[in-house]
Amino acid sequence: MTPEQIAEFITPEVAEALQSENHYCASRWSEGTPNGRAFNERSIDEWILYMEDYISEARTQAVRGDEEGALHTIRKVMNLGLNCMKQHGAPQREIEE
């Protein structure tokens, strides 16, 4: 995707939300975690576990009518996925034409 295509796909509001979440996580974990690893030093398995935990939380929030809370949690999930791909690679989908 070109920057123009990304701008059409991801609204400024979404981009700002993801950026704010990424800055928050980076500042929160800048000194590393209790085991001494930085925020982005995770295996793919760990990223998925974190994402599943937050997806479960978002599901509970949504089912109980807390749509705003669910959206905040989805922002966290998106940031985790983006950081996983940033650390481990972002394979492209092959599209057959």
Q: What is the pLDDT of residues 60-92, one digit of tens each?
A: 999 999 999 999 999 999 999 999 999 999 898
Query: Of the ranges 9-13, 50-54, 69-73, which one carries the lowest mean pLDDT score?
Result: 9-13
Question: Whats the size of the chain, residue-wise?
Answer: 97
Task: Report CA dihedral (38, 40, 52, 95) to the nearest 10 degrees.
Answer: -170
The model carries a pTM of 0.81
Q: Supply 13's token pair.
A: 């509001």
Cα separation of 79 and 93, whole Å?
20
Question: What is the reported pLDDT for 92?
Answer: 87
What is the distance between the alpha carbons of residues 52 and 38, in angstroms, rounded to a whole number? 20
The confidence band for 9, taking pLDDT boundaries of 50, 70 and 90, is confident
